[in-house]
Structure formats: C-alpha cells, structure tokens
Amino acid sequence: MEKAGILVLYVIAAFCVTAGTSAAAAAVAPAVPSYKTLYDLFISSPEFNASLGLFNYTGMLPLLKDPNTMITCFLPTSNAESILWWDDDEKGRYVWAILLHHCLDGQKAMTLKKLAPAIGEDVRYYPSAFPPFIDDISIEQTESGIFFYGSLGDGGKVVKADIKGGKSIIHLIDNGNQFPAFAPPDTFETVLEFLDDFTPFALEVFSASSYVPFLTDPKRTTDITVFAPRDDAFAALLKQLRITKTQLLNNKALVDLIVAAHVINGSALYTGAMVSYGSPIKLQTMAGPLNATGDLTIFPKRSGPAKVVILSNPFVKAVLDDYDTGGNDLWIDPPRCIGHFVDKVLIPISIKDLSKIK
C-alpha cells in the first residue's frame, strides 16, 4: 500500500512537471500576427509589395483599409517568377480586371483546405470577382503542390496559404500569369471607325458634328476619352425630345452639344482611372462636368458584385458598359484615345433646355 501511495505521488508530480513545462512552452511560443485590415497585412512584409501597388493603382486601396472587407484572393508574391500585369497599352481596365480575376466572387474568406480538392480529385472551379463576366478560376492539387488557374494563362503554385488580414484570407502564388477570358482592347485608326463597328447611331451623330476634324485628325496632340451611347440610348433620347433622327442630325448646334458631352479632351481614361471608393471622381467633358463613381462593393451583403461605373451629372445617370464586346479601345499612341460605351446619352442640360436648341 505504501508503494502504491508513493507511485501515485510520483505520477502526480510527473504530471505537474509536464503540465508546467507545456504551459511554459505555450507561453514562449511565437504568436501568429493579427492584422486589423488587409492593408495592415500588406504593409507588414515586402512579399505583398506588388499586390499593394496593384490595389493602389486601380483605385481599390480603400478596400484594403476597410475592416469589413471579406475576400479570398490568390496573389503573386513580390518576387514571383512572372507578373505580367503591367502593360503600358492596357493599364487601368486590364490591370483592374486581372486583379479581380485573382479573387473569389462574393463575400468569402476561405482556407486552402476548403478550396482545394484532394490529390486525384477533379479540379474545383469557382467564380471570380471580375466584372461583368463571372469567369471561372480553378484550384488543382497534385503531388507537387496546389495550383491556382485563371481562365487563361499558366498555373500559379501556392507557396503560402491562409494568411489572414482582417476578415480576409490571402493565398500567395509563385507567378501572376493568369488572366480572365476576354479580349484585350482592339485598336482602331479613328474614333469613327470604332463607332462604326459597335454603335451605328452614335456614328451618325458624331459624323454630323463639327468635331469630326478634331476626332479624326492624325496630328491631334491631346489624349481624349470618348463615351459612345448605345443605339437604344439615342432612340430613347429622340422620344424624350419628340423629334426624329433626321431632325436631330440636321440640328448642328444640338448635335455638337451632345457630342461634346461625350468627349474628354486631354485625358485617355481607362476604367481604373474612373473607379472610386466613396467620393465620385470629377471629370470634365467638352460640354461640362461629369462625375464617375465606381462600385467597389463586391460583397453581397452590401450592394452586390462590382459591375459598373456610373457617370452622372444633374440631368442623367449612365452606366459605363465598359466590358461589352470591344468596349474599351486604344487608338494610336501617342496621342491616345480610349472609348467606352454608355447606356444613356449624357445630356449636359435638361431635356426642356435641350429641346429649345435650334
């Protein structure tokens, strides 16, 4: 009995020593860094420098600073093998599209274990956050690792997973050579050639204006941005004005005012330059001021996926339909001319005042 008691005391003592050792080890174990926002995470290490620059360039830096942001992204490390995201001819809309193509659509913060299939299982597909198409991105696991794929391009091997910043999760990959499945901007010799391909009504209106020499001059020295209303947008305007197409085209003063309201002289603005977070971006057309507000709230609990840039003045709000066929086009460089589609005619004065122009 005495031996049994000694044995019990020995066991208890051993347990206490072990528990004390474990507690001490836990006390000195390095804590996993906790970051309030994605921005705090991104500035914590050079491996996020490239991604931080991309979010900043495309106007989405405030998204990183919002503690309520919840996204899952596969982003290349700053020393990645290839980051083919910086193309001088496609900055802005292309960079924005590629960046969102590396994030999952909707409000999700998903670990790699939840995202990746087991070895031997089929590739898993997920919708990306790239607007307005929901292109698929995919995850595959092989013997050599877990790989992220865009709609086009090469796979990026996950080199670090489940990095948390605020409510979001970032997975780092070894290259950025993944792209959404849409064509880069087409190139046209003149504004009228662009309009002829996509918006016949707008072509007639622009061709009837006094601005044709300016818009088509090969010696023009300034960059310009052109907003091309869709055919149904002009049809709706005719109904509001209660005139025919012929009457519109024969009214030079009216045509000139309308065309001027769709041209920015001095800047070739890609989508990225018109994306904001909160306050609208102030633009100046040849007929007056215009506001651009890009929807960056890619979270369903707020206002749904980011799909549009809204152009507005006191008289009209129009959706920048930038990603339809041929939507954002680059002409001769330099000077550059960027073209976008809009779903309404950007009238700079009221319909009542517009109808008085003779």
DSSP 249-317: HT-HHHHHHHHHTTEEES----GGGG--SSSPEEEEETTEEEEEEE-----TTTT-S---EEEEETTEE
Q: Which two tokens stand for residue 156?
A: 């990026």
At 141 the pLDDT is 96
Predicted TM-score of the model (pTM)? 0.62
At 130 the pLDDT is 66
Residue 346 in contact with residue 318, Cβ under 8 Å? yes
At 302 the pLDDT is 37
Distance between start and end Cα atoms, the chain: 116
Task: Report which of 248, 346, 330 is spatially closest to residue 292, judged by C-alpha positions.
Answer: 346
Write the pLDDT tens digit of every residue in 43-99: 999 999 888 888 877 767 878 888 888 899 999 998 876 665 555 444 455 677 788
Neighbour tally for 244: CB within 10 Å = 10
At 308 the pLDDT is 64
At 336 the pLDDT is 75
At 72 the pLDDT is 94
Residue 283 in contact with residue 303, Cβ under 8 Å? no
Residue 325 in contact with residue 198, Cβ under 8 Å? yes
At 129 the pLDDT is 79
Residue 200 in contact with residue 231, Cβ under 8 Å? yes
Question: Could you please report the per-residue DSSP string of 212-234?
Answer: HHHHH-TT--S-EEEEEE-HHHH
At 38 the pLDDT is 94
- Positions of the chain with pLDDT under 50: 1-29, 88-91, 298-307, 322-332
Q: How far is CA 56 from the centre of its chain?
A: 12
Q: Which two tokens stand for residue 214?
A: 């300016």
At 85 the pLDDT is 54
Neighbour tally for 33: CB within 10 Å = 12
At 222 the pLDDT is 87
Task: Report which of 263, 287, 142 is spatially closest to residue 202, judged by C-alpha positions.
Answer: 263
